[in-house]
């Protein structure tokens, strides 16, 4: 039998996967309330935390928002691009970047546990739209 915990995780992941754009915790909450009007913020924050821990979703720190992971080729750390125009988000594998990063901080004795690498900018589509006016 699937536990309640797992049911929430599946429901939230499906909502995130169905969205073209990052969703705030309260966006997800709104969707969940269609089926279950009494659900409260802690439930959704807990569920999002589990999903992020497992790598099934990512939290975008610069947006306070969440996406479903759509690129399982990375263990933990992805490079994430965020279009400021249309909100589209993509993930890239970051192995090389992490290598260079560890060189940059090599002499400091800092032991990295988690990377946040988010690039804000303009995606290909929006760039073309802008120049074609």
Residues engaged in binding DNA (CB under 7 A): 1, 3-6, 8, 24-27, 38-43, 45-46, 64-65
Which one of the spans 3-11, 42-50, 66-74, 113-121 is the region binding Zn ion (CB under 5 A)? 66-74
113 binds a second copy (CB under 8 A): yes
Among 10, 52, 60, 86, binds Zn ion (CB under 5 A): 86
Tokens, residue 42: 């802690």
| Candidate residues 11, 69, 82, 89; the one interacting with Zn ion per rule CB under 5 A | 69
3-class secondary-structure state, position 67: strand
Q: Which residues contact 28 (CB under 8 A, 6 or more apart)?
A: 12, 15, 16, 44, 48, 66
């Amino acid at each position: 039998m699937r536990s309640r915990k797992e049911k929430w995780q599946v429901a939230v992941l499906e909502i995130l996967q169905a969205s073209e754009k990052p969703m705030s915790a309260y966006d997800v909450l709104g969707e969940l309330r269609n089926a279950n009007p009494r659900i409260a913020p802690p439930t959704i924050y807990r569920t999002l935390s589990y999903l992020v821990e497992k790598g099934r979703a990512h939290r975008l720190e610069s947006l306070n928002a969440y996406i479903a992971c759509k690129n399982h080729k990375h263990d933990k750390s992805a490079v994430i691009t965020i279009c400021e125009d249309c909100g589209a988000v993509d993930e890239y594998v970051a192995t090389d970047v992490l290598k260079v990063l560890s060189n940059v901080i090599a002499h400091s004795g800092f032991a990295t546990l988690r990377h946040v690498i988010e690039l804000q900018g303009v995606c290909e589509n929006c760039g073309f739209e802008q120049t074609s006016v």
